[in-house]
Amino acid sequence: MAQMKSKLKYYNMIHVNEATSQKALEFIETYRLSHDLRMPDAMIGAMSIVYQIPLFTYNTKDFKYLPGILLYK
């Protein structure tokens, strides 16, 4: 655990809050059946949108349909 904490100090941390939780739940309700959206990807997408941080991923197909998401190019 100490090793992990020492490495995390080199990164900016963002935290899950009520807005990101709500957005993730909206995404699950809307896209679970049509796109097989799972909670981890819903949370990642919600965090990106709520905090307005472009998302860097090689797996754009899992996120490109989320309204408001900025995919890093």
Residue 8: pLDDT band (50, 70, 90) is confident
- Taking alpha carbons only, the member of 55, 47, 53, 50 closest to residue 72 is 55
Whether the pLDDT of residue 73 is over 80: the answer is no
pLDDT value of residue 27: 98
Mean pLDDT over each residue of the chain, to the nearest integer:
94
Enter the pTM of the model.
0.86
Would you state the structure tokens that stand for residue 16, as one six-digit string?
């899950």
Q: What is the mean pLDDT of residues 20-48?
A: 97
Confidence of residue 4 (pLDDT cuts 50, 70, 90): confident
Look up residue 54 and give its two tokens. 């472009």
In the chain, what are the domain boundaries? 16-73
